[in-house]
């Protein structure tokens, strides 16, 4: 690799109730990525467990961990051993009764470079996250690492252009979205395609409007609804890496476990932003109403 390239990897896999097996899959993906020369590896949202937010169950708070804690200790050691940066996802126990959906970034020297607490928390059928997660309070601040400033956000954040823009304005070199998103199996094929396409378009648009690469990693497989009130979630995979003009550089399967490894040309954002100077032409003198919920 030249000095202007960075090899990145996304680990897409299915999950089960076997927490150790899920963790083993994530670790195997990281080791495989390292063997292929990756210096940055991103794991999917809540990669150690099932997506437990399909129901509201107080027993599931037992899944939460402190930071630092057992998972962060493990990934610190792994990052140092393999000399790479890891973006992992954690159900964070901040205090008794206070929990977050948190992405943690591990530096190649084995330290915790930083963390991001999910800001936008959904509350929809099958995605009852407000029951479990307090909205983040750390804002939209990129995390400085040896591979650049990482604009880490999480899942539902990916639909909001404001978060991506604020990360870009704070100097992020790329936008990263650990994700857990899927279909209601009762939706027809046309609706499923529209949802998946909207998901990809929205994130590729963040790449375009900010002139930055986007890394988005999702899980695959069907996970049943423990309450039997629905037919569960069919996670749609489609993890991808897009360049700073939204161009697809790598695109994973809809249904198969897969490791995506791709080289990013880190000089591309500079050249693209010179041609498409969105930051220069922003009319901040007329954006005050963006701080309102709605213009009545």
pTM exceeding the 0.95 threshold for the entire prediction = yes
Specify the pLDDT at position 26: 98
Gap between the Cα atoms of 14 and 165, Å rounded: 31
CB atoms within 10 A of CB 9: 27
What pLDDT does residue 166 have? 98
pLDDT single digits (tens) 157-215: 999 999 999 999 999 999 999 999 999 999 999 999 999 999 999 999 999 999 999 99
Report phi then psi at 98, rounded to 5.
-135, 110
Which DSSP symbol is given to 51? -
> Is 274 a residue whose pLDDT tops 60?
yes
Rounded Cα distance between 126 and 117, Å, is: 21
pLDDT on residue 2: 46
Positions marked catalytic = 45, 118, 155
The pLDDT value given to residue 285: 97
Domain ranges (residues) in the chain: 5-291
Q: Report how far residue 219's alpha carbon sits from residue 192's, in angstroms, rounded to the nearest whole number.
A: 16
Percent of the chain with pLDDT over 70: 99
What CATH architecture is 5-291? 4-Layer Sandwich (3.60)
Closest CA to 217 of 44, 85, 29, 15: 44
Q: How far apart are CA 215 and CA 243, in angstroms?
A: 9
Q: How confident is the model at residue 108 (pLDDT cuts 50, 70, 90)?
A: very high
């Amino acid at each position: 690799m030249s000095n202007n390239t960075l090899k990145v990897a996304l680990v897409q896999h299915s999950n089960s109730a076997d927490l150790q097996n899920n963790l083993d899959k994530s670790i195997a993906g990281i080791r495989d990525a390292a063997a292929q020369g990756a210096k940055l590896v991103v794991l999917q949202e809540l990669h150690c467990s099932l997506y437990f937010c399909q129901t509201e169950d107080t027993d599931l708070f037992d899944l939460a961990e402190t930071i630092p804690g057992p998972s962060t200790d493990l990934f610190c050691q792994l990052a140092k051993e393999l000399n790479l940066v890891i973006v992992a996802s954690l159900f964070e126990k901040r205090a008794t009764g206070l929990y977050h959906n948190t992405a943690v970034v591990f530096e190649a020297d084995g330290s915790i470079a930083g963390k991001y607490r999910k800001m936008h928390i959904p509350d929809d059928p099958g995605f009852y996250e407000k029951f479990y997660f307090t909205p983040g309070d750390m804002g939209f601040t990129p995390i400085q690492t040896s591979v650049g400033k990482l604009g880490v956000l999480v899942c539902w954040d990916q639909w909001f252009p404001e978060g991506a823009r604020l990360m870009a304005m704070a100097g992020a070199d790329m936008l990263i979205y650990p994700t857990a998103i899927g279909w209601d199996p009762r939706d027809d094929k046309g609706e499923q395609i529209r949802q998946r396409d909207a998901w990809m378009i929205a994130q590729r648009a963040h790449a375009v409007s900010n002139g930055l690469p986007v890394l988005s990693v999702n899980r695959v497989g069907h996970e049943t609804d423990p309450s039997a009130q629905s037919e569960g979630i069919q996670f749609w995979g489609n993890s991808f890496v897009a360049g700073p003009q939204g161009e697809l550089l790598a695109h994973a399967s809809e249904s198969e476990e897969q490791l995506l490894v791709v080289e990013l040309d880190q000089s591309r954002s500079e050249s693209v932003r010179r041609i498409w100077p969105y930051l220069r032409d922003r009319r901040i003198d007329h954006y005050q109403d963006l701080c309102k919920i709605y213009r009545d």
